[in-house]
């Protein structure tokens, strides 16, 4: 298998893993498929399944954590686990997408891209769903990160 095939296979595995969570109810700070998760719990679980690495356990957080601290903890954690962000022009299926609700605010929402115009995320009003990446979402993108491949044994 060449590098392009391996990359496409890895991306497809991430998207399949994300789609397997669709229908999971929204539960703040949870990360259990079919039981409940929030956006961070969804992305952490997919990262762990596909990258084969354990993601750090976040400290307890309130729904308004980003407004309270102002720190970009979500982007900092993504850098630690996935490396530098990917340019928006290079984003693709399987990438983690991070959003900030307004300019200057900390990134506060996360999902997995399923293609150039759709993503899967845990949304408080609907649970885990696949949404169109409309302009209202696209303009809030704070960073794109790529989930690493599993480490060889």
Domain coordinates of the chain in residue numbers? 3-145
CATH class, range 3-145: alpha beta
- The rounded distance, in Å, linking the Cα atoms of 15 and 22 is 11
Q: Is a pLDDT exceeding 80 seen at residue 69?
A: no
| Residue given tokens 């893993």 in the structure block | 17
pLDDT band at 2 (very low <50, low <70, confident <90, very high): very low
> What pLDDT score does 104 carry?
85
> What pLDDT score does 132 carry?
98
Half-sphere exposure of 57 (CA within 13 A, CB side): 3
- pTM tops 0.85, yes or no: yes
Range 4-26 average pLDDT: 92
- The rounded distance, in Å, linking the Cα atoms of 124 and 25 is 8
Q: Which of 39-48, 58-67, 97-106 has the lowest mean pLDDT?
A: 58-67
Contact 145, 90 (CB under 8 A): no
């Amino acid at each position: 298998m060449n590098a392009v095939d391996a990359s496409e296979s890895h991306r497809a595995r991430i998207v399949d893993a994300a789609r397997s969570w669709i229908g999971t109810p929204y539960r703040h700070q949870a990360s259990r498929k079919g039981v409940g998760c929030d956006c961070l719990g969804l992305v952490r679980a997919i990262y762990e399944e596909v990258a084969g690495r354990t993601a750090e356990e976040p400290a307890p957080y309130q729904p308004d954590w980003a407004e309270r601290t102002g720190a970009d903890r979500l982007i900092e954690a993504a850098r630690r686990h996935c490396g530098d962000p990917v340019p928006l022009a290079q984003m693709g299926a399987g990438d983690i997408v991070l959003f900030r609700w307004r300019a200057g605010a900390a990134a506060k929402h996360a999902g997995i891209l399923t293609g150039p115009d759709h993503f899967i995320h845990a949304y408080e009003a609907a649970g885990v769903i696949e949404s169109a990446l409309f302009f209202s979402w696209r303009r809030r993108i704070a960073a794109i990160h790529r989930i690493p491949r599993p480490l060889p044994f």
